[in-house]
Chains A and B, each alone.
Chain A
């Protein structure tokens, strides 16, 4: 069990009759970067605060390095927390801010100074020791907050939307920095964000949350390519949801007749579907490829004619809205030399393995 840094078992949090977090069961392995992803109010921050001890736990158990921490007060949990607004102590210098946690860890003065110096080197701000936080830029404050959290060599690093207060360019840069530092230190990290880009780019494991529940836990590729629920498919990326009825099931290929229009799709699925069952087909916008004429590709392929109605130019890609078989589909394709225009007649191609079938309730079949 020593390779699990944080273990949540049936953790719940309620405020009066309001369930903020329900049935959280999650292992955060040593050295891994786990992201809690979801819209505001989904319980991700509450979960982080329960791990930190800033919120009490209503039910279940949280263990850090195999030790139950439910009843252990915050200051005895040995954590590093970076808050959304950094929460640097405004009345202390950068060096004093970073050294704050060391005072409680019986570290000698010279030793502490050395540790502070090293932490500031790790965040690449070695020359700012004597500044006050108000004299620093947002990005610098962010790095100091990180230095303050890692200098105490915490059992787990908790990051509460640490990038959301930065502007876009800096955010991308800090994303890489944060990941580099986490790798270097090999410290188990729980990262809370509502930004799917951050979650997909940085995480070893993504926990998608909604309404206080875990919707899906998996690698970034898993949650993006194989969404386990309607919510996940909708929250991450751009998806088309097509309601239909299963016609035939053959050798892992499911044929679905869409309820609306006259489309029939063949989708590869490991789920046990029965003919006649009502289902939802989820198609990622970038999985549909547009062509000017039908082209035979290898493998089972769906090909449907359509008409472009809207072009949303995005530089590298374009987002098209295409009328096809009585549906209005979102398609994201790279822009080639002669991009499609409004009114163009196109062929839509979808590989059987590039779509996901969910059952009537919007969940995967197992």
Chain B
């Protein structure tokens, strides 16, 4: 009998380090946030515990939050579409190049990750700012007398997000392209397809899982960011994560911040789940792996 109990316990024993780590780092903090979202911030600045629905009532009743949530989804979607279109080309090139240093190309792709995301975002100020490279060039060429205001609008937010997320898209598409058997394109060609025809009929459909995985990653990361709109956006370009940042860091209203965090988590979690159902979860995990 004891041996049976042992065999039953063994998997759990082996899983315990992973389960422990996950519980401690993910599950426990999440529980804290859920509990916090029902607390209340008082006028004195102290938080009172208990079960209050005020934070949730504020979110559901105030259109301001809803608008920003929709705006966030829209920006993330536009960023994702641009990443997909712009990212496919270098991914295709790296996957099909006959260069010996394919590894070097992939490393160049990873290179931006060695620099802080904030620094990378700030670098756009040197490029697009009033005394930045673009304005200096325009003024030197005599195309404009006064420096143009290029920064702090929706376009620069999307530009910053694309800059940040493009490598994720390229890597995911690259992985799916490399996995396609080269003979498939050859077979299509011998059967009469032009190079572009073979791409449309064979390569593109077979790379869709990678494109889908990359898109999901770009959407989730894009929708969850606050740094880019903070640095490159104007007052009207705040995204949902900026509200959380504001509530927690500026207003020190942790309970409201907790409630808003849960909203974002639920929205993005739903997107991931629905997307996974539609695209096939194992396809996605294949591309991630």
Query: B-contacting residues of A (Cβ < 8 Å)?
Result: 52-54, 73-81, 83-85, 87, 89-91, 100-101, 103-105, 148, 152, 158
Contact = CB atoms under 8 A, between A and B. Distances in A.
Nearest to A54: B186
Contact of A75 (B184, B192, B202, B205): B192
B183 interface: yes
| 10 nearest CB pairs, A to B | A104-B192, A101-B191, A87-B183, A87-B187, A74-B189, A81-B190, A83-B183, A75-B192, A91-B205, A79-B190
Contacts of A76: 192
Contacts of A89: 184, 187-188, 201-202
A80 B191 CA distance: 7
Given A90-B206, A91-B205, A91-B206, A85 B192 contact: no
A73 B188 CA distance: 13
B6 interface: no
Given A83-B183, A87-B184, A75 B189 contact: yes
B186 A83 contact: yes
Contacts of B188: 89, 100
Nearest to A74: B189
Interface of B: 181, 183-184, 186-194, 197, 201-202, 205-206
**Most A-side CB within 10 Å, residue of B186, B197, B205:** B186
Contacts, number: 63
Give the secondary structure class of B's interface: helix
Contacts of A77: 190
A161 to B, nearest CB: 12
Nearest to B192: A104
A329 to B, nearest CB: 45
A87 B181 contact: yes
A75 B191 CA distance: 6
Contacts of B184: 87, 89-90
B181 A85 contact: yes
Contacts of A101: 191-192
A81 B187 CA distance: 7
A193 to B, nearest CB: 17
23 contacts: A52-B186, A53-B190, A54-B186, A54-B190, A73-B194, A74-B189, A74-B190, A75-B190, A75-B191, A75-B192, A75-B193, A78-B192, A81-B190, A83-B186, A83-B187, A84-B183, A89-B184, A89-B187, A90-B184, A101-B191, A104-B191, A148-B191, A158-B190
Given A77-B190, A104-B197, 15 more contacts: A52-B186, A52-B190, A53-B189, A75-B191, A75-B197, A79-B190, A84-B183, A85-B181, A87-B181, A89-B188, A91-B205, A100-B193, A103-B192, A104-B193, A148-B191
